[in-house]
Amino acid sequence: MFPALETELKPETLSDPYEDFMHHHLQYYGYFKGPTCLPSAGHAQIDAVGKDPLMLSSPLLRSRQLLYDELDEVNPRLREPRELFSFFSSRGPLQAPKWPIECEVIKENIHHIEWVPPEPEYFYQPTGDEKVPEIVGEEQGTVVYQLDSVPTEGAYFTSSRIGGKRGIIKELAVTLQGPEDNTLLFESRFESGNLQKAVRVGVYEYELTLRTDLYTDKHTQWFYFRVQNTRKEVTYRFTIVNLLKPKSLYAVGMKPLMYSQLDATTYNIGWRREGHEIKYYKNNMDDGQQPLYCLTWTIQFPHDQDTCFFAHFYPYTYTDLQCYLLSIANNPIQSQFCKLRALCRSLAGNTVYLLTITNPSRTPQEAAAKKAVVLSARVHPGESNGSWIMRGFLDFILSNSPDAQLLRDIFVFKVIPMLNPDGVIVGNYRCSLAGRDLNRHYKTVLKDSFPCIWYTKNMIKRLLEEREVLLYCDFHGHSRKNNIFLYGCNSNSRKHWLHERVFPLMLSKNAPDKFSFDSCNFKVQKCKEGTGRVVMWRMGVINSYTIESTFGGSTLGSKRDTHFTVEDLKSLGYHVCDTILDFCDPDQTKYTQCLQELKELLQQEIHKKFSNFGQDVDLEASWSDIPLSDIESSTSGSDSSLSDGLPAHLLNIANELNQKMLLKKTKKKRLQTRKQRDEQYQKNYLMRELKLAEDTQGRARFASTLQKQPTLLKAPEKSSSSVMRNEKPRLNETQLSGRDKGTSLEPPLISLVLPKNKETIQTQLSGRDKGTSLEPPLISLVLPKNKETIQTQLSGRDKGTSLEPPLISLVLPKNKETIQSKKPGFTASCSPKRSTNSGLGPAPDVKANWPRTRYPATRKDRSAVAAVYPSLHIYTYP
């Protein structure tokens, strides 16, 4: 299956130069263990080719990238592409899992045998007399085990390595004082293990604290740890004190799992359900944050000095998956129709495997006609029951059963057996090393933060472009409901109305004692838009499901009130294959019967809903027009808001950006109504008038001073020259205004454009006011480093006399040309608005020393108007 791992090189065949390079390259990085070819002989033959072209036909130089038939002729087909990563080697060890560098990992290899109990394991029946131990904590107890390598709050994943944290592994368990010391020795620093602290609060009583998902402060559900130094015929009590879910299957009879090492080696007995006095209750210690819940149980160990394990459910680790895939790769029959590829690498660098299962097609048309089925599991690492269902599916689809061969003939199966290997390795319950629930981020564009999800979605998108995807199933576990059921998506198309419910109904008929159709739900909630089920449905996969398997057992048929075993879960994988055949049977009898049954069930459900509201409805008329989402309640899945949002390593960056944004000046809130805008305008107007009234006296004094000393505007030579050198020519604007009771004076707008040439601009402006005579003053401005003078003359006449426009003459240095322009006079106006020309206005770095104002004048005293002149703003630029 893996040509890259084959080393059978014929001694008389020379290597291709490209292959010779790749051998050295892969061997250098540890991916290739095979022998390299002799470069000297290869180079000698290549040199000989240049001298003798006939040697091109020599069998010694044939490329091993092409396939040859029995007649030694080239077949135009390339060999299978070589793997980029050395997945497995029958002569070497498996690829060791990579851990975050904060995690300590013991060197022992943990392995459990598979075993099916000969008798059904029934639920625990509560008596009502179960003891509820009070939580005392480490203040009154003795800490016998505590992890000190847990990432602190606010930390995020940075890097990983095989074996986790560097350095010597510490002994976290207490040291026994002698053979009579009966203190239990705890350990969880192995693959998928989860226990953070153990406190001894009695001789045989221990309080246990679970570790939250790495880089989060949530999700304490999965537990898996080891105890040693046991005593038989003694009742021990264990109490987990920091569970987060208010409801649990432990409250309705579910038992924890125990594994005895001595029983496994001696009697070949594996995991079994054990425990008495099981109680799930609320923790009485309130930390002021979210409420915590406790799980307590008692147990008697079967042997003295035994090594035992406890787990929430049957563990299935990343190493277990690799061992299983290795057996497929080494099977000469299965490897012909099961191709193993690397979909991507996880955040920690662990391989996410992709299996393509189908029989070889005889023609390209036959290959293109095949529909696809996509299956995935373990997006939530603590839901190991999904891996056991996937294991049962793979066992059947890779077998030599006639049904399995038929499925491989008509379908292409794309299987991702473990979507979140990092979370599985470190013992998380729900999140990846990004600190987020991957099953809420199928719409993500953050490929580097969620590579497993991004590449999965991209693979399915490409698959949809090639062929129809008949079915998408993502295997999960459920902690609050018994049996197996699924979540789907209601079809909005009248053509496919109720078709998405046919497959789960068929599955319930094929597995009546395990699968509950009544527990299925097809409502698409807004909070589930990021799940794989909804995203694939919106991409065009009608039959898109999340299959939920309980951590407990069955309440149906012959398996009523019994726990599920690994064999029960594996059998469901077989039933999925059987249901696919029924669903695609050319004889549509079963399909039609299921559709009719669904319509009848839906009618009954509608009638029941309306009866509860005390209403009568005619189901014979338009009952099918009632939206299905109005009939169904919301799913009882986990709250997506707990694990939504940016990955942990981006949260710090986002917080810093938010703080910077808060420091910036916030924009003024826009007024929404006309009344609010009018009130704001009045307020601003009154404030402006008040300010102008305060400045009136000072401006009048300045105007009289200006009349007495006209040379006051002479600028200092040194400062003006610096301005002329640094400032670019731009447009100036001067505005004068005056107001008198009954008289309106609108000052002319004088715009001076001073170009780079040294030309003179003469501008004539005129203004008129009825019955008012203004004699213009002469204002001289001496520019620095030149003796030229800017003379500005304003003229005007009184009532009954025509108005001659004033002449404004600006003489610029070193230029003898003059440009004269006249602008017709205009009537003064009281409007205070400026010109809307955006090119007008002073330079931003040069501000006027005097704000604009209005000057009082009366009709009766027009001589005062002629005596007092408004200030004239003139800005000069080079």
**Residue 515 contacts residue 507 (beta carbons within 8 Å):** yes
How far is it, in rounded angstroms, from Cα 238 to Cα 747? 93
Q: Phi first, then psi: give them for residue 536, nearest 5 degrees.
A: -70, -35
Question: Coil, strand or helix: which one is 774?
Answer: coil
CB 415 within 8 A of CB 390: yes
Select from 746, 765, 773, 764 the least CA-distant residue to 828.
746
Rounded CA-CA distance 353/342 in Å is 5
Contact 431, 440 (CB under 8 A): no
d(CA 705, CA 712): 9
Residue identified by tokens 């089925």 is: 373
CB of 468 closer than 8 Å to CB of 369: no
Contact 452, 381 (CB under 8 A): no
Q: Are 729 and 877 in contact (CB under 8 A)?
A: yes
One-letter amino acid for residue 271 of the chain: W
What values do phi and psi take at 410, rounded to 5?
A: -110, -5
Q: Phi/psi zone of residue 606: left (φ > 0), alpha (ψ -120 to 50 degrees), beta?
A: alpha
Q: How far is C-alpha 642 from the chain's CA centre? A: 13
Q: Kind and range of the H or E element at 329?
A: helix 318-329
| Residue type at position 685 | Y
Residues carrying an active site annotation: 548
Is 510:583 a contact under the CB 8 Å cutoff? no
What is the three-state SS of 356-424?
Answer: EECCCCCCHHHHHCCEEEEEEECCCCCCCHHHHHHHHHHHHHCCCCHHHHHHHHHEEEEEECCCCHHHH
> Which residue's structure tokens are 């810093």?
656
User: In whole angstroms, what is the distance from residue 34 CA to residue 441 CA?
Assistant: 41
Is the CB of residue 714 less than 8 Å from the CB of residue 836?
A: no
Sign of the CA dihedral with 74 first, then 75, 76, and 78 last = negative
Give the Cα separation of 102 and 587 in Å (integer).
58
Distance from C-alpha of 200 to C-alpha of 133, rounded to nearest angstrom: 13
768 vs 804: CA distance, rounded Å = 9
Q: Which amino acid is at 466?
A: E
> Which pair of structure tokens corresponds to residue 89?
């080697």
Which residues fall within 8 angstroms of residue 874, CB to CB, at 6 or more apart? Answer: 713, 732, 734, 750, 752, 779, 781, 790, 792
Closest by CA to 34, choosing from 80, 3, 11, is 3
| Cβ–Cβ under 8 Å, residues 632 and 521 | yes
Rounded distance between C-alpha atoms, residue 118 and residue 565, angstroms: 11
Q: Classify strands 371-377 and 469-478 as parallel, antiparallel or unpaired.
A: parallel
Q: How many C-beta neighbours within 10 Å does residue 589 have?
A: 8
Q: DSSP E strands: which ranges in 466-522?
A: 469-478, 484-487
Closest CA to 182 of 144, 146, 133: 144
Which residues lie below 8 Å from residue 232, measured CB to CB, with a gap of 6+? 300, 301, 302, 303, 304, 306
Taking the CA atoms of residue 485, residue 490, residue 496 and residue 501 in that order, the dihedral angle to the nearest 10 degrees is 10
